[in-house]
Every structure is written in C-alpha cells, then in structure tokens.
C-alpha cells in the first residue's frame, strides 16, 4: 500500500504544481529554462508513475474489497463510456474542431475513465488509484475552466478531417481494448467476464 501511495503522491504532486504553486513553477522555468523545467517535471512524473504502477500491481488483488458492482450490464456500460473517453483522448493530440469545441478533452476523458472504472473496481487499491485520477482531473478541470481564461488553440482553422482521425483511432483503440483482448493483454483483466 505504501508504494502505491508514494507513487500517487509523487505523480500528482508534480502534476498539481501548476494549480497550487504557479509562482514556484514560473520561478523554476525562469531559473532552469522551459525545457529544463519540462525535463525535470517529466522525470519526476515518470518516477512517480512507475512507483504507482508497481504499488498498484502489488496490492491490486489483495487489498480489501469495498464494493462490488460486477454485473454484465454495468461492465457493458463502462465499456461503452470508454469509447467517447478514448476519442476525446486522441482529440487532445490532433488539431480538429473537437479539440477546440471541447475545451479540455484530456481532462474530460480522464474524468470519464476514472469514474467509470471506479464503478466496477471496488478494492481499496482501485479507490486509491482511480479516485486519485478522478479527484486530480476534477481539480485541474476546475482550475483550467474557472480560474484561468481558456487558452486559445494554436490551430487557426481546425480541419474536420482531424475529428475523423480522432474518431477512427479512438474507436479502434476502444475495439482493441474491449473486444480484441487489449485490456487483458495490458492490464491482466478482460473487459467482459
């Protein structure tokens, strides 16, 4: 349990610097340069992520069961929710209209992913992992939406074709995870049991 908590603290600690200590972030960027700060940021986040994954894997099936919602219909609903989440995740990285219309597609995708996974994963380890991602994404979404003006997209006139790419890649990723054995291969758990 300790390894998971330490990994979560490191990973989300660095990811919350922009929200809780923006002046510190600015000072470090001025001192180290933008790329220097990004390099340290990425390294710390990666270390936290690795520790978090190792900690979760260690206690995933042995931590206390807090709730159980393992009905096939619930699993199917969660699977269906992952389709728009994956499309939004891909839309984050392509210059389409979807990215400009949905102000923070990655954060919204993370909210959907974490909340839906909490429905069907009821162990303490799951609550810590998915609950942390859910809480973090809601905090950052609130901060990005309410406290700061939206950042203008870098693309002047997004092409609708990029939304097709987001739909196709997100849809293929969803199909592979849900029906092509990808979720079992990556996470050791089939989508439908």
Comparing C-alpha atoms, which of 135, 119, 126 is closest to residue 4?
A: 126
| Distance, CA of 84 to CA of 92 (rounded, Å) | 12
Q: For residues 98 and 147, state if they share a domain.
A: yes
User: Of 59, 77, 105, which marks where a domain is finished?
Assistant: 59
In sequence order, the β-bridge partners of residue 123 are 65
Looking at the chain, the whole-number percentage of residues with pLDDT higher than 70 is: 94
Domain that holds residue 49: 1-59
| Distance, CA of 122 to CA of 68 (rounded, Å) | 6
In this model, does residue 151 exceed pLDDT 80? no
Q: For residues 120 and 35, state if they share a domain.
A: no
Q: For residues 115 and 177, state if they share a domain.
A: yes
Looking at the chain, the whole-number percentage of residues with pLDDT higher than 90 is: 72
Strand, coil or helix: 154: coil
Q: For residues 55 and 69, state if they share a domain.
A: no
User: Of 59, 88, 105, which marks where a domain is finished?
Assistant: 59
| pLDDT for res 100 | 85
Q: For residues 53 and 71, state if they share a domain.
A: no
Q: For residues 32 and 116, state if they share a domain.
A: no
Q: For residues 126 and 179, state if they share a domain.
A: yes
Q: For residues 184 and 167, state if they share a domain.
A: yes
Domain tally for the chain? 2
Q: For residues 92 and 155, state if they share a domain.
A: yes
Comparing C-alpha atoms, which of 46, 41, 50, 47 is closest to residue 21?
A: 41
Q: For residues 88 and 113, state if they share a domain.
A: yes
Comparing C-alpha atoms, which of 126, 129, 1 is closest to residue 55?
A: 1
| pLDDT for res 88 | 96
Buried-state track 30-45, b at ≥16 Cβ within 10 A, e below 16: eeeeeeebeeebeebb
User: Of 39, 59, 79, which marks where a domain is finished?
Assistant: 59
| Distance, CA of 38 to CA of 65 (rounded, Å) | 38
| pLDDT for res 72 | 85
| Distance, CA of 147 to CA of 151 (rounded, Å) | 12
- Rounded to a whole number of angstroms, the CA Rg of the chain reads 18
Q: DSSP per residue over 71-126, as a string? A: -HHHHHHHHHHHHHHHHHHHHTTS-SHHHHHSS-HHHHHHHHHHHHHHHH--BHHH
Q: For residues 54 and 70, state if they share a domain.
A: no
pTM of the shown model: 0.88
Q: For residues 30 and 72, state if they share a domain.
A: no
């Amino acid at each position: 349990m300790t390894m998971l908590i330490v990994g979560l603290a490191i990973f989300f600690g660095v990811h919350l610097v922009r929200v809780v200590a923006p002046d510190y972030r600015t000072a470090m960027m001025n001192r180290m340069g933008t790329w220097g700060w990004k390099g340290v940021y990425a390294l710390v986040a990666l270390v936290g992520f690795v520790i978090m994954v190792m900690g979760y894997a260690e206690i995933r099936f042995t931590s206390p069961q807090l709730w159980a919602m393992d009905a096939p219909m619930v699993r199917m609903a969660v699977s269906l929710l992952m389709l728009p989440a994956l499309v939004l995740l891909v839309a984050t990285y392509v210059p389409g209209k979807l990215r400009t219309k949905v102000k923070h597609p990655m954060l919204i995708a993370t909210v959907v992913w974490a909340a839906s996974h909490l429905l069907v994963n009821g162990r303490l380890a799951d609550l810590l992992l998915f609950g942390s991602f859910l809480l973090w994404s809601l905090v950052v979404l609130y901060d990005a939406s309410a406290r700061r003006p939206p950042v203008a997209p870098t693309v002047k006139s997004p092409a609708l074709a990029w939304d097709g790419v987001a739909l196709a890649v997100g849809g293929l990723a969803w199909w592979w995870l849900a029906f092509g054995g990808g979720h079992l291969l990556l996470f050791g758990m089939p989508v439908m049991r």
